[in-house]
Structure 1
Amino acid sequence: MAIWEWALDAYGQPGVPEACLRLQDEHGQNVSYLLWAVWAEARDPALLARAAETARVWETVALAPLRAARRELKAPRPPVADGARAALREDVKAAELRAERVLMETLAGLAGAASGGGHAFDALKAASLAWGKPAPDEALAALAAALG
């Protein structure tokens, strides 16, 4: 299955959105990168380092600014009409999702057909370590369990 379709299916599983947002907001992780690592069963340190650098750059250039704009547009911003603000927020949300898809498809290209054959927790732990400050094992285990 292509990575984007897999990610959409995975994100629709009970507990996955909450675990992802916790890893993102509380532990500074990049959700697209983590999901890619599970999809690719990535554990190779060199591949994870290349993927983490790619994700860090894309996070800075596209994801973080779009996420910040989307979150800021959630609250009313008088004198801007609520309908106009909400419509713009939906456009920004769509752009943010597109940026996540671009990142995941780029990372999938880095991985090629290689598969580390690892379990979700192992891939998440290795990816989190390569990202920089690793997330706590319990937060990674919660995502791995939700992914099944």
Structure 2
Amino acid sequence: MCTDLWSFALSTYARPGVENTCLRLQEQGADVCLLLCGLWLEQQGVAPEPARVLALRQIAGPWQDEVVEPLRRVRKQWRAMAQHNAGLDALREQVKALELEAERQLLLCLETRAQEWPTGEATYQGTWLEGLTTEAANLDHDALHQLRVVVTGT
């Protein structure tokens, strides 16, 4: 098991089916960084108290809105044009790298916040994902379950 959130996120995202599931959930309004953080916290046995869920959402929301999403928007806008322009394709790859770095920084902030919470205290480990995705009204809850099964086997 990975002890730091970034390593956990990378290894989890590389598992078969996780990337597609995460992208599908992201299209439905979920924050993939929060999902990965939630899975990590579930594995750590950190209890999903409402104040903790709120603390993570207060960190992630503004960062996603003001840093990650603008980069993602530019990257997506350039997709079609970049297929026919090598220079723009190179710039698009740089934007993609910045987007990934922005997500890494967010995960570091989330991990820093969560480090003060005791591990091994949760008796039921199934509410982090649900608590961190409550704003995504049309979320595919089967996809959340699939994600949890792929990562935890339960």
Structure 2 length-normalised TM: 0.84
Deviation at 1:77, TM superposition (A): 5.9
Deviation at 1:66, TM superposition (A): 0.6
Question: Counterpart of 2:79 in 1: which secondary structure?
Answer: coil
Structure 2 residue aligned with 1:137: 141
Tell me if 1:33 matches 2:38: no
Structure 2 distance, partners of 1:20, 1:144, is: 11
Identity of aligned residues (%): 32
Question: Counterpart of 1:86 in 2: which secondary structure?
Answer: helix
Tell me if 1:45 matches 2:50: yes
RMSD across aligned positions (CA): 1.9
How many residues align? The count is 142
Query: 5+ residue gaps in structure 1?
Result: none
Question: Counterpart of 1:75 in 2: which secondary structure?
Answer: helix
> Can you list the C-alpha shifts for 1:50-103, whole angstroms capped at 9, x where unaligned?
11121110011111101111111111269xx71111100110000000000010
Structure 1 distance, partners of 2:151, 2:21, is: 10
Query: 5+ residue gaps in structure 2?
Result: none
> Can you list the C-alpha shifts for 1:14-42, whole angstroms capped at 9, x where unaligned?
010011011110x2010001101111225
Q: Is the 8 A contact 1:40 1:108 kept in 2?
A: no
Name the structure where helix makes up a greater proportion of residues.
1
Structure 2 residue aligned with 1:2: 4
Structure 1 length-normalised TM: 0.87
Q: 1:39 to 1:77 in 2, by over 3 A?
A: closer
Structure 1 ranges of 4+ moved more than 6 A: none
Q: Is the 8 A contact 2:5 2:40 kept in 1?
A: yes
